[in-house]
Structure 1
Amino acid sequence: MAVPKRRTSRANTHSRRAQWTATPPTLVPIILSGNTFRVPRRLVKLVHAGLIDPREF
């Protein structure tokens, strides 16, 4: 038989949410046609392939 979850107090919910923080992506310097650009690490392959313009970052 399904049992409903217990209600969490508002203070506990807020303190739990306060622990989470977003970190900015690490930027990696790459050189394209003599110019140096700083691009997020996960997008380096796309920039080299020409699918993303590095001036957008």
Structure 2
Amino acid sequence: MAHPKRKISKTRRDKRRTHDNLATKALSVDATTGEIHVRHKAHVYEGNLYYKGQLVVEDYK
């Protein structure tokens, strides 16, 4: 099994890990219902399914 020739410093290790953080999800408010939801996703409000402010499916379960 291969072994590293030299120890990788903490600085180099941390530089590599700078992009491993999680980004917060973008939220928006629906204009018709006032519901807060994740952008570009359909959401349920009072049993109905909405997408982009329009009713898609009634009595969604």
Which is strand-richer, 1 or 2? 2
TM-score (norm 1): 0.44
Higher relative contact order (CA 8 A, sep 6+): 1
